[in-house]
Amino acid sequence: MRFLFDYANLVRILIFSSLLLLIFLHVDLEYALNEIDSAKDWHYAPLVAAGIERPEALDAIIERAFNGTKKERMRGCWILHHISDSRPELFYKKEREMIAQLDQMKTDAEARFILRYYSKYQLPRHDEREGLLLDFSFNTIVAPSQAAAPRVYAMSIVHRMVKKYPELASELAQSIEIACEYGTPGMKNRGGKILKDLMKKGLL
C-alpha cells in the first residue's frame, strides 16, 4: 500500500510539473515572439534549447511559426532555423507538416525555413511529398516575386534530387537560366555552380 501511495503521488507530481512547464513555455514563447524587439541570439536561446530537448516545446514553436501572426511566423521560423541546424533529425517526423505548409505560407520566413532545411538535410522520404516539394521548388526558382534566398535554396533542392532523377537536369538548367537573367549576384553565383556541376557530370 505504501508503494502504491508513493507511486500515485509521483504521478501527480509529474503531471503537475508538466503542466507548469507548458504554462512557462507558453509565456516565454508569447513574450519572445511578440514582445522582444531585438533579434539577439541570446534572447531566443532558451527557446532553442527547449525545442531541442522537449518534443512538446518543438511542437509549440512549429504551431506558432506555421499558424501564428506574421510576426510570430517570422520569429518562430528563425528559432526553427537554429533548432534544425543543431538537431536536423528532430524534423524527420515533421515532414508531413512541413510539406503541407508549402500551400499555406503567409511569409517569406516560412519558405526560407522549409526550403533551407531541405536544401541541407534529409529530403522527404514519402514519394508524394517529395513530388510536392519538387514542384514547389521549380516554381520558386522562376518566381520573380520570391526573395532571392528561397530561390537559391530551391535550386539546391532540385540539384540534390537530380542525383536520384537525372532526367530533371535539363529542366533545372532551363529554370536556372530564366532565374539568373535578372537575378541577384547570389542567385547567379549559386546557379552558375550548379550548371557547371551538371555539365561536369555529363547531364547537360
Mean pLDDT, residues 16-36 taken together: 53
| Radius of gyration in angstroms for the set of CA atoms belonging to the chain, rounded to a whole number | 21
User: C-alpha grid cell for residue 42?
Assistant: 541570446
- Taking all residues of the chain, what is their mean pLDDT, rounded to a whole number? 86
What percentage of the chain has pLDDT greater than the value 70?
A: 81
Q: With a cut of 50, say whether residue 69 has pLDDT above it.
A: yes
pLDDT at 148 over 70: yes
Q: Span 13-28, mean pLDDT?
A: 42
pLDDT band at residue 155 using 50, 70 and 90 as cut-offs: very high
Distance (Å, whole) CA 60 – CA 76:
10
Residue 119 has pLDDT above 50, yes or no: yes
Measured CA to CA, the distance from residue 60 to residue 199 in angstroms comes to: 44
At residue 37, the pLDDT reads 56
Burial bucket for residue 185 (CB in 10 Å: 0-12, 13-18, 19+): exposed
Higher pLDDT, 23 or 71: 71
Q: Which residues of 36-71 are buried (b: 16+ CB within 10 A; e: fewer)?
A: eeeeeeeebeebbebbeeeeebbebbbebbbebeee
- The owner of cell 512549429 is 62
Distance, CA of 62 to CA of 53 (rounded, Å): 14
Does residue 8 have a pLDDT over 60?
no
Q: What is the mean pLDDT of residues 117-137?
A: 97
Distance in angstroms (rounded) separating the CA atoms of residues 75 and 73: 6
Q: Is residue 22's pLDDT more than 70?
A: no
CA 82, CA 50: separation in Å to the nearest integer?
Answer: 12
The pLDDT assigned to 47 comes to: 84
What is the reported pTM?
0.84
Average pLDDT over residues 72-97: 95
Distance CA(202)–CA(144), nearest Å, equals 29
State how far the alpha carbon of 62 is from the alpha carbons of 47, 66, 68, 118, in Å. Answer: 12, 6, 9, 16
